[in-house]
């Protein structure tokens, strides 16, 4: 009200000058001090009566820093309805948002950007149509002060019964308990789901046994503002739902050199295979298909198979129907370069499981093509009777090779 008083005072002075000029009055024409105060009070009271009753609240407060990216910015109004809200970056780029149907709140349509200064302006009206305005500016959290988690599976995917929820954080997590407490994974089957930490940056969730077929799994991340390490907080709030498909578990027996494909408890196919040679045996254990490629390059030098000149012992640029089983390079894939006679009779690979196939991945009648077409990400391939060790639980998505008690012991919850 300081500005109003100044304007009134100036008006009073100018008014007095005009009265002296026009009327030629003397000192008796000037209002006494008490009368001037009463006049100002009347003006203030009249202005107050004309002020909007709408009360706008902007979150975060003006000047805030390290603001979250998801639910931190919003506008609410009491005793009125919002009519306009504008959120812009310091460069002037507008951020889309929506006023709620009842006009009482507003929020952005999507997450904000990190290390960005924003200006927010809101307008509301009360029941008598009188406007109220509010403004605030704030700066969002920087990459240096925040962490995010990349995760699989993604929203809407249908996966096999062996697919864990696997979250990889872009920074080491020191307060594992706080971070894990902000993440929930549940199944429509009612199975107990427990998280297990593999080091400081990976957290996997699974039940004791494979997921029940045709169930739905929900993962909720509520990491906004959760401190993962001193001065480093989460910026994600997200809910993901994915579907568990039919139950398919395939057993590769390296002694009989056959793979038995079992779906929903019934054997649907037996396929001759060629596993790792005695010099380079295939890992034992339950391995989960994590990636599928109709064709891909396999270079032995990338997984330690090098000749005397440092070149790969093999470099095949068009391996057909390849599906990853471990991060260290174990695949189950088509093989067109081996003689038909090796499948079912000899183990000849560098550790992968080979199925007979045709060059170009174009023949649907080949065993490898059938298995590729009938497999989902998350299906289990269980290798038995190999002279090699069991694959490590964190080598790929292979936590099923850890007992339930040990798995639970790795939880921070």
**Domain ranges across the chain:** 2-49, 55-141, 146-245, 248-401
Question: Among 3.30.420.40, 1.10.20.10, 2.40.440.10, 3.30.1490.20, what is the CATH number of 248-401?
Answer: 2.40.440.10
Tally the residues of the chain: 413
At 41 the pLDDT is: 65
At 382 the pLDDT is: 98
Cα–Cα distance between 312 and 304 in angstroms, integer? 8
Cα–Cα nearest to 132, from 46, 56, 45: 56
Which structure tokens are listed for 204? 């996997």
How does DSSP classify residue 175?
Answer: -
Residue in this structure with the two tokens 């909720």, named with its chain if needed? 220
Cα–Cα nearest to 393, from 385, 403, 384: 403
Residue in this structure with the two tokens 């007095």, named with its chain if needed? 16
At 315 the pLDDT is: 81
At 49 the pLDDT is: 64
Q: CATH assignment of 55-141?
A: 2.60.40.3780
Backbone angles phi, psi at 399, to 5 degrees: -65, -10
Question: Which positions are catalytic?
Answer: 333, 352
Q: What is the pTM of this model?
A: 0.79
Per DSSP bridges, beta strands 266-272 and 285-288 are: unpaired
- 48 Cβ neighbours under 8 A, 6+ residues apart: none
Which structure tokens are listed for 295? 């064709």
What is the b/e burial string over 380-401, where b = at least 16 CB atoms within 10 angstroms of the residue's CB?
bbbbeebebeebbbbbbbbbbb
Q: What is the H or E stretch that residue 13 is in?
A: helix 2-23
Does the domain at 146-245 match CATH 3.30.450.20? Answer given as no
Cα–Cα nearest to 232, from 166, 178, 185, 196: 178
Give the orientation angle of helix 33-49 with respect to helix 2-23, to 10 degrees: 130
At 25 the pLDDT is: 41
Cα–Cα distance between 289 and 379 in angstroms, integer? 6
- 62 Cβ neighbours under 8 A, 6+ residues apart: 135, 136, 137, 138
Q: pLDDT by residue for the chain (413 residues), tens digit each?
A: 444 443 333 343 334 433 333 334 444 445 555 665 666 666 555 555 679 999 999 999 999 999 999 988 999 999 999 999 999 999 999 999 999 999 999 999 999 999 999 999 999 999 999 999 999 999 999 999 999 999 999 999 999 999 999 999 999 999 999 999 999 999 999 999 999 999 999 999 999 999 999 999 999 999 999 999 999 999 999 999 999 999 999 999 999 999 999 999 999 999 999 999 999 999 999 999 999 999 998 876 665 555 656 665 658 899 999 999 999 999 999 999 999 999 999 999 999 999 999 999 999 999 999 999 999 999 999 999 999 999 999 999 999 999 999 999 999 99
Identical fold at 55-141 and 146-245?
Answer: yes
Contact 386, 351 (CB under 8 A): no
Residue in this structure with the two tokens 């189950």, named with its chain if needed? 332
């Amino acid at each position: 009200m300081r500005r109003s008083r100044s304007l009134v005072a100036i008006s009073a002075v100018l008014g007095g000058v005009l009265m002296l000029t026009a009327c030629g009055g003397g000192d008796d024409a000037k209002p006494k001090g008490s009368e001037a105060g009463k006049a100002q009070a009347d003006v203030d009271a009249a202005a107050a009566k004309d002020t909007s009753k709408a009360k706008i609240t902007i979150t975060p407060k003006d000047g805030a820093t390290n603001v979250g990216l998801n639910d931190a910015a919003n506008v609410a109004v009491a005793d009125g309805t919002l009519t306009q809200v504008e959120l812009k970056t310091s460069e002037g780029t507008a951020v889309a948002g929506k006023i709620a149907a009842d006009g009482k709140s507003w929020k952005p349509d999507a997450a904000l950007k990190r290390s960005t200064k924003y200006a927010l302006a809101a307008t509301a009206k009360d029941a008598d149509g009188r406007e109220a305005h509010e403004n605030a500016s704030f700066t969002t959290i920087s990459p240096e002060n925040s962490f995010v988690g990349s995760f699989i599976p993604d929203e809407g995917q249908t996966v096999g019964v062996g697919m864990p929820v696997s979250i990889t954080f872009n920074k080491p997590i020191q307060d594992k308990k706080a971070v894990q407490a902000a993440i929930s994974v549940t199944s429509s089957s009612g199975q107990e789901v427990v998280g297990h930490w593999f080091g400081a940056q990976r957290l996997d969730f699974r039940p004791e046994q494979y997921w029940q077929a045709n169930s739905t799994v929900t993962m909720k991340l509520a990491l906004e503002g959760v401190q993962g390490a001193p001065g480093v907080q989460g910026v994600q709030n997200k809910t993901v739902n994915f579907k568990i498909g039919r139950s398919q578990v395939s057993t590769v027996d390296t002694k009989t050199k056959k793979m038995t494909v079992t779906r929903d408890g019934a054997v649907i196919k037996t396929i001759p295979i060629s596993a790792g040679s005695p010099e380079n045996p295939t890992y034992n254990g339950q391995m989960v298909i994590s990636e599928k490629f109709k064709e891909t390059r396999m270079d032995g030098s990338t997984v330690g198979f090098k000749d005397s000149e440092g070149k790969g012992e093999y470099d095949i640029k068009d391996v057909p129907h390849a599906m990853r089983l471990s991060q260290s390079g174990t695949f189950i894939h088509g093989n067109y370069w081996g003689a038909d006679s090796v499948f079912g009779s000899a183990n000849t690979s560098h550790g992968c499981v080979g199925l007979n196939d045709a060059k170009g991945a174009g023949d649907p009648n080949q065993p490898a093509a059938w298995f590729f077409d009938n497999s989902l990400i998350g299906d289990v391939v269980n290798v038995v009777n190999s002279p090699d060790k069991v694959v490590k639980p964190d080598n790929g998505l292979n936590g099923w090779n850890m007992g339930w008690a040990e798995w639970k012991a790795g939880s921070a919850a």
